[in-house]
């Protein structure tokens, strides 16, 4: 507990991000991975392999954008830093361990960023006010230099969770919160489609709970039934083996990975309703 408190204190995040719980969530991810590193290893290796396969299609290799830093364990930074002149890694909360680790690669830079563009406005939102609308342009404004490749890794399903939790704590109904969550997911997906460069997406698709006998107790969409691109690769990630959440059930994630054809795609996300 003391270690987690120290890491939480050393995690970089804006005041609105801390208010919504992003620093705490980053520390929870670090702590869970430390407990289950062996069980997560295959998922992390699959993510790294898919990232490298995606960048293989890049004609220019000047600037790479990585969306979602986390613990860095699923990012092949050694290989990517050798392939690109500049690697930018964006996340809304940056763990002190991650900031220390990237120092070994001079051309890799961690940057605080809200890829949804809603966290600041949402921190001031109260019931009865219009909800902030997720923008597909939020990612384009991350840096003035256009990327030669974009990777969104193990991020998509996480984007709506804390915003949905926050608006429900403020009094919004579950149904309205889920509508808001879908708008966040759709804005990210179609923001990725708007880039004029190779884009790789690794995302949670389904959450599957299993009992002691390995039988499926519950299976549900991890992205609020939003349609994902057809996957090129898929695998299962034992994100919370039995004993993490409770002693009777374990949670695994069905992960899907796809490379996006971005030529000429435009999209206007629906405005969330209250």
Q: Which residues span the domain enclosing 13? A: 2-203
Is the pLDDT confidence value at 240 over 60? yes
Could you report how far apart the first and last alpha carbons of the chain are, in Å?
38
pLDDT at 262 over 80: no
CATH number at residue 53: 3.40.50.150
Where b means 16+ CB within 10 Å and e means fewer, 143-154 reads: beeebbbbbbbb
pLDDT at 4: 80
**pLDDT greater than 80 at residue 274:** no
Q: Is the pLDDT of residue 270 over 50?
A: no
Report pLDDT digits (tens) over 197-237: 999 999 999 999 999 998 999 999 999 999 999 999 999 99
Sign of CA dihedral 113, 187, 153, 24: positive
pLDDT in tens, 24-57: 999 999 999 999 999 999 999 999 999 999 999 8
Task: Examine the pLDDT at 157 and tell me if it is beyond 80.
Answer: yes
- Report DSSP letters for the chain, one per residue: -HHHHHHHHH-B--HHHHHHTHHHHHHHHHHHHHHSHHHHHHHHHHHHHHHHHHHTT-S--SEEEEE--TTSTT--HHHHHHH-SEEEEEESSB-HHHHHHGGG-TTEEEEE--TTS-HHHHHT--TTSPPPPP-TTTTGGG-SSPPSEEEEES-GGGTTHHHHHHHHHTT--HHHHHHHHHHHHHHHHHHHHT-SS-EEEEEEEEEEEE-TTS-EEEEEESSTTPPPPPPSEEEEEEEE-TTSS-SS-EEEEEEEEEEE--TT----PPPP--
Mean pLDDT calculated for residue range 117-128 = 95
Over range 170-193, report the average pLDDT.
96
Confidence of residue 243 (pLDDT cuts 50, 70, 90): confident
pLDDT reported for residue 264: 35
pLDDT at position 271:
40
CA 147 vs CA 30, 65, 68, 112, 204: distances in Å: 28, 6, 15, 17, 24
Q: In terms of DSSP bridges, do strands 149-153 and 199-210 run parallel, antiparallel, or are they unpaired?
A: parallel
Whether 210 maps to a domain, the answer reads no
Measured distance CA(169)–CA(131) in Å, rounded: 14
Residue 236 lies in a domain: no
pLDDT category of residue 261 using cuts at 50, 70 and 90: low
What is the number of alpha carbons within 13 Å of residue 56 lying toward its C-beta? 8
Structure tokens at 131: 């909800």
Model pLDDT, residue 211? 93
Residue 245 lies in a domain: no
Kindly state whether residue 215 falls inside one of the protein's structural domains.
Answer: no
Q: Is 138 domain-assigned? A: yes
pLDDT at residue number 188: 96
Res. 265 pLDDT band, cuts 50 70 90? very low
Residue 116: Cβ within 10 Å count: 22
Distances (CA, A) of 175 to 119, 168, 178, 183, 207: 20, 10, 5, 13, 19
Could you give the CA distance from residue 99 to residue 111 in angstroms, rounded to a whole number? 10
Across residues 92-105, what is the average pLDDT?
96
What's the number of domains the chain is made of? 1
pLDDT confidence tier of residue 108, bands split at 50, 70 and 90: very high
Residue 229 counted as domain residue? no
Distance CA 115, CA 136 (A): 9
Please indicate whether residue 274 or residue 186 has the higher confidence score (pLDDT): 186
Residue 72 placed within a domain = yes
- Output the pLDDT for position 91: 97
User: Is the pLDDT confidence value at 266 over 50?
Assistant: no
Check residue 137 and give its pLDDT.
86
On whether the pTM is more than 0.75, the answer is yes
């Amino acid at each position: 507990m003391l270690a987690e408190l120290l890491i939480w204190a050393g995690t970089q995040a804006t005041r609105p991000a801390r208010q919504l719980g992003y620093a705490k969530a980053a520390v929870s991810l670090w702590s869970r991975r430390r407990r289950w590193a062996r069980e997560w290893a295959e998922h992390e290796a699959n993510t790294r392999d898919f990232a490298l396969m995606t960048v293989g299609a890049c004609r220019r290799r000047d600037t790479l954008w990585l969306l979602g830093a986390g613990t860095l364990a699923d990012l092949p930074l050694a290989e990517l830093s050798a392939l690109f002149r500049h690697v930018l890694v964006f996340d809304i909360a940056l763990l002190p361990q991650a900031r220390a680790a990237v120092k070994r690669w001079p051309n890799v830079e961690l940057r605080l960023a809200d890829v949804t563009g809603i966290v600041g406005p949402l921190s001031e939102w109260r019931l009865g006010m219009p909800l902030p609308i997720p923008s597909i342009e939020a990612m384009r404004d991350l840096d003035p230099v256009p990327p030669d490749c974009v990777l969104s890794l193990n991020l998509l399903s996480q984007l709506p969770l804390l915003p949905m939790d926050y608006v429900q704590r403020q009094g919004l109904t579950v149904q309205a919160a889920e509508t808001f969550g879908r708008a966040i997911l759709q804005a990210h997906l179609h923001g990725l489609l708007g880039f004029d460069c190779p884009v790789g997406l690794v995302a949670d698709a389904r959450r599957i709970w299993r009992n002691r006998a390995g039988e499926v107790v519950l299976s549900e969409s991890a992205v609020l039934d939003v349609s994902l691109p057809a996957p090129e690769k898929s695998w299962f990630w034992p994100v919370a083996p039995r004993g993490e959440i409770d002693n009777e059930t374990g949670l695994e994630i069905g992960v899907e990975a796809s490379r996006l054809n971005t030529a000429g795609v435009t999209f206007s996300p629906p405005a969330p309703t209250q």
